């Protein structure tokens, strides 16, 4: 029987670190696992990720009108959903039939938090589109790494200033997409991030969620997650 686990949280909450640690632990314990991230995980999905997360538009000019940061909210919602539709059809659905623990770094709750609460798109519209793209597939467990947006953005900003101080012109022109991705959403106001955080708090009342204080140490967080996963798989 497969188990489907999603990691959620705002920028700089440590989801990627924890999802990777969990994946490595599961493999080390002899189980089969798959580590995915959203948006992405398929060739179409990775191209959509580039459009969604690039601060610069196709011309590459930061100040041009093609700047992707001016994307319409509904377009954004549909792009995240189209990347998800590919991931569901090509990767998640086939693996749900296997004895695999599927770990996804972000899933549908990100869309509800960012496009619903953050962008203020009607929540029924967001949920309808999510249902179309997922055919109702939901995680068995959603792990929220919870951190106040003020604190988390400090972490992200220090990563970004490290990037800005890079002297190598090649790296400067082609920053790692994850950092660039954080940058497009990091450009949003603190109120945007507070709405996203509020959305997560509302959703985490569901019994299929585990909320962990993301300011704890990496090891402490990993151990809490592992305790919960053991209950699901043994």
Binding mask 28-67 for ligand TMP (x = CB under 6 A): ---------xxx-------------x--------------
Q: Does 150 bind ligand TMP (CB under 6 A)?
A: no
32 vs 174 by CB, closer to ligand TMP: 174
Distance from C-alpha of 53 to C-alpha of 93, rounded to nearest angstrom: 25
* 33, 100 Cβ separation under 8 angstroms: yes
How many residues bind ligand TMP, per CB under 6 A? Answer: 15
154 vs 227 by CB, closer to ligand TMP: 154
Q: Does 183 bind ligand TMP (CB under 6 A)?
A: no
134 vs 182 by CB, closer to ligand TMP: 182
Where does residue 31 rank: exposed (0-12), middle (13-18), buried (19+ CB within 10 A)?
middle
Q: 86: closest CA among 141, 48, 56, 136?
A: 48
Distance from C-alpha of 122 to C-alpha of 119, rounded to nearest angstrom: 9
Q: Does 106 bind ligand TMP (CB under 6 A)?
A: yes
Minimum distance between the CB of residue 230 and ligand TMP, rounded to whole angstroms? 26
Q: Does 114 bind ligand TMP (CB under 6 A)?
A: yes
Any idea what DSSP says for residue 187?
T
Any idea what DSSP says for residue 30?
T
Binding residue for ligand TMP, selected from 18, 85, 111, 142, defined by CB under 6 A: 111
């Amino acid at each position: 029987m497969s188990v489907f686990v999603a990691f959620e949280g705002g920028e700089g909450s440590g989801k990627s670190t924890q999802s990777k640690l969990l994946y490595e632990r599961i493999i080390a314990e002899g189980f089969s696992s798959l580590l995915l991230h959203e948006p992405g995980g398929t060739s179409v999905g990775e191209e959509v990720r580039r459009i969604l997360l690039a601060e610069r538009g196709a011309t590459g000019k930061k100040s041009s009108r093609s700047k992707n940061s001016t994307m319409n909210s509904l377009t954004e919602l549909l792009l995240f959903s189209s990347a998800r539709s590919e991931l569901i059809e090509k990767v998640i659905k086939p693996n749900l039939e296997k004895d695999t623990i599927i770990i996804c770094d972000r899933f549908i709750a990100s869309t509800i938090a960012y496009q619903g609460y953050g962008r203020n798109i009607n929540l029924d519209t967001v949920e309808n589109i999510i249902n179309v793209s997922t055919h109702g597939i939901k995680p068995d467990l959603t792990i929220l790494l919870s951190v106040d947006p003020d604190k988390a953005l400090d972490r992200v900003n220090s990563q970004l200033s490290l990037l800005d101080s890079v002297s190598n012109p090649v790296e400067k022109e082609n920053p790692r997409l994850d950092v660039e991705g954080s940058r497009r959403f990091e450009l949003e106001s603190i109120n945007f991030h507070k709405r996203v955080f509020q959305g997560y708090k509302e959703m985490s009342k569901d019994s299929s969620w585990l909320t962990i204080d993301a300011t704890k140490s990496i090891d402490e967080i990993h151990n809490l997650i592992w305790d919960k996963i053991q209950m699901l798989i043994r």
